[in-house]
Amino acid sequence: MADNSFRFSEVAEPHRVRTLQILRQYPDVKKLMGKNPLTIFAIIGLVGGMIGISYLVKDTPWWVVLLIAYFVGAFFNHALFVMIHECSHHLLFKNKSLNRFAAIVSNLPHVFPSAISFERYHIKHHSFQGVHELDADLPDFWEAKLFNNSVLGKAFWLLLFPVFQVIRTFRLKEIKPVDGWIVTNWIIQIAFNVTLWIFLGPKALMFMLLSFFFSVGLHPLGARWIQEHYLTLSETQETYSYYGPLNAVAFNVGFHNEHHDFPSVPWNRLPRLKKSAPTYYDSLLSHQSWTSLFFRFLFDKNISLFSRITRNERGKVKLTDESKPDMDMVKEKVA
């Protein structure tokens, strides 16, 4: 049965150490770091596709809107989350402002303005993985206790997953909740929503809203959030990759260990990163099916919202003189 507390670790998060080890053993992975400006065309295509589908469903019965949102819109919307993720790491353009505008465009079919806020909280997740007051990817204590390992509780939690993600941000006191970029995100998103309602009607907007909730919640795609850091295959490995077929429509977001080790590698090069360092990645446990994980998470009483690793230290790693030059290079590439 699941415990009523998170697993505590006294060691630093594993990614910084593994990054340095890989750089020493496989220095050619440095060539995979960089930008992919062609990603902007994927963003334009996905946003255009969602608008086009909204037009097609605007006069259909509500049950058709629901089904199309679940079986089609969710995949478009999930892919756009990956695009926002790429933009948050500034992996499209060298200019940070252009990356943020691309993220705001990616955000349009999500109905709720979240692209710029996501960047703020996601970068903290990378820097302070497992530190509860700095990592919004971890559930709140009350959240984990409330739903724990209940089947219905976990289903409800997945259904309203975006709501709980927003609530968690209030515990991160070090992040400024509002700035000019966030206000811009809100203004553009509200203008888009109003325009969509006026020209295509309520069903078009509802299609996007349903697609948004399915893409991150009660849907096999929702298992991605479980796959990344929940202790589903081991009590000690805290990050997992997914190597199943849905990576083809999710822009390789399943390569999560690879991404955490090298956040400056864009989505299209992550499979090459895995192949470039087989000693490290082939030995890690991984998932092959989001659908299988989705049902296992719901019905396995041994997996709960407490199935996460936390730590008190703030993610610092003691570097040897030998490894410092490599780390300096990584910081330069990320910047």
Q: Rounded to a whole number, what is the distance in angstroms from the first to the last CA of the chain? A: 44
Q: Tally Cβ neighbours within 10 Å of residue 156.
A: 15
Give me the residues of the chain with pLDDT under 50, please: 1, 315, 317-335
Q: pLDDT value at position 322?
A: 40
Going by C-alpha positions, the residue among 335, 91, 268 that lies closest to residue 102 is 91
Compute the distance between CA of residue 205 and CA of residue 299 in angstroms, rounded to an integer.
33
Compute the distance between CA of residue 29 and CA of residue 262 in angstroms, rounded to an integer.
9
Q: Are 243 and 144 in contact (CB under 8 A)?
A: no
Q: pLDDT value at position 316?
A: 52
Residue 194 buriedness (CB in 10 A; 0-12 / 13-18 / 19+): exposed
Q: pLDDT value at position 321?
A: 41
| pLDDT tens column, 187-198 | 999 999 999 999
SS3 8: strand
Q: pLDDT value at position 174?
A: 84
| pLDDT tens column, 61-118 | 999 999 999 999 999 999 999 999 999 999 999 999 999 999 999 999 999 999 999 9
